[in-house]
Amino acid sequence: MKTRFLSLILACSVSSVLVAEDTVITLEFPPPKVTSTPAPINLPHLELPNKKPPVIKVPTGVTNVAAGKTVTSSDEWPIIGELDMITDGDKESEDGYYVELGEMQQWVQVDLETKTEIYGIGLWHYHAQPRAYLDVIIQVSDDPEFKSGNTTVFNNDHDDSSKMGRGSDPAYVEKNHGRLIPGKKATGRYVRFYSDGNTSDGLNQYIEVEVFGRSVE
């Protein structure tokens, strides 16, 4: 499905396209698709609908540096899908476009291949049904094992059930728009995305991640 509703301002969804100074990251996204009966969502820290994405200004040279990069995961045998789908630029939510990892906390990790200053992150879980993913945590590190030197840029584990520290970010309902997350100018070579199931099932689906940054090596 090639249709796109909106392009980045000065188009920055593809790594080869540069973003001019003081432009704003705006995610491009596919049309909405709706399947299946939605399960009720009742989370105490669910944000209000239609919250506008943050305004993230970026300087010259910032691109989606995750495009085409290698992805690894905590689940050696995903139920369906290939890990390279997560950085292939396709954000459709239908069968054949997403990777589904097993139950409990799982993660996917992008190797940016070089130490990178990160301005923003785009994240698409499964979005063909209203649902919220649980305990979404995003960290940046130079350690591929994420044992030390980690910077957390997003954490909505409000009750610290993941035992990775309590987060103050809200839970949110997945939509075709994806989620734009400030990168806080964190630096590191690796970006890891955690989740722990969702409000429809206990599984962890990933469609696409984008990392807007520039090498600092």
Query: Is the CB of residue 121 less than 8 Å from the CB of residue 154?
Result: yes
Asked whether position 156 contacts another protein by CB under 8 A, the answer is: no
Minimum CB–partner distance for residue 142 and another protein (Å)? 23
Which of 50, 217 has the CB closer to another protein? 50
Among positions 53, 89, 102, 170, the unique one binding another protein when judged by CB under 8 A: 102
d(CA 194, CA 208): 14
Minimum CB–partner distance for residue 113 and another protein (Å)? 26
Which residues does residue 212 pair with via DSSP β-bridges, in sequence order?
A: 64, 120
What string of DSSP letters covers 141-201? ES-TT-SSS-EEEEE--TT-TTSS----SPB-B--TT-EEEEEEEEEEEEEEEEE--BSS-
Structure tokens that stand for 147 in this block: 């044992």
Minimum CB–partner distance for residue 151 and another protein (Å)? 21
Among positions 6, 55, 104, 216, the unique one binding another protein when judged by CB under 8 A: 104
d(CA 181, CA 200): 23
Which of 60, 161 has the CB closer to another protein? 161
Site residues (CB under 8 A) for another protein, limited to 20-59: 31-44
Asked whether position 105 contacts another protein by CB under 8 A, the answer is: yes
Among positions 159, 165, 166, 216, the unique one binding another protein when judged by CB under 8 A: 159
Structure tokens that stand for 148 in this block: 């030390």
d(CA 50, CA 123): 17
Asked whether position 174 contacts another protein by CB under 8 A, the answer is: no
Structure tokens that stand for 182 in this block: 């400030």
Asked whether position 108 contacts another protein by CB under 8 A, the answer is: no
Chain residues binding another protein by CB under 8 A are: 1, 3, 31-44, 74, 77-80, 90, 92, 94-97, 100, 102-105, 134-135, 159, 161, 163, 196-203
